[in-house]
Amino acid sequence: MISKEEVKHIAKLARLGLVPKEIEKMQKDLSLVLDYFNLLKGVDVSKVEPTSHSISKLGVFGREDNAKKKNLEEVDKLIDAAPEKEERYIKVKEIL
């Protein structure tokens, strides 16, 4: 079990002002958390493939995000319709 001194030290690092009753509660709660981590250490994960994300990296529509070929005529029409442009870019007001 985690000691009261360790709880006080953690509370000081977290800038928490704990009263004695809270220290005892935190002592029990932190001990339970640490016990759970020790339980997880015993789990065999040798056959689990490592991941960089907990969810799939598909877009919000559930599909890969692939670029589509652009119809250059449509792009030119859109750029020509803009009130201000420079080369093949549309000029907009600064926002910052």
**Is residue 61 domain-resident?**
no
Question: Structurally, how many domains does the chain consist of?
Answer: 1
**Is residue 31 domain-resident?**
yes
**Is residue 52 domain-resident?**
no
- Please tell me whether the overall predicted TM-score, pTM, comes out greater than 0.75 for this model: no
The residue range of the domain holding 9 is 4-41
**Is residue 8 domain-resident?**
yes
**Is residue 84 domain-resident?**
no
Beta bridge partners of 25: none
CATH number of 16's domain: 1.10.20.60
Q: At what angle do helices 4-13 and 20-41 cross, to 10 degrees?
A: 100
**E strand or H helix at 21:** helix 20-41
Would you write out the chain's pLDDT as a tens digit for each of its 96 residues?
899 999 999 999 999 999 999 999 999 999 999 999 999 999 999 998 888 777 766 666 767 778 888 888 998 898 999 999 888 889 998 887
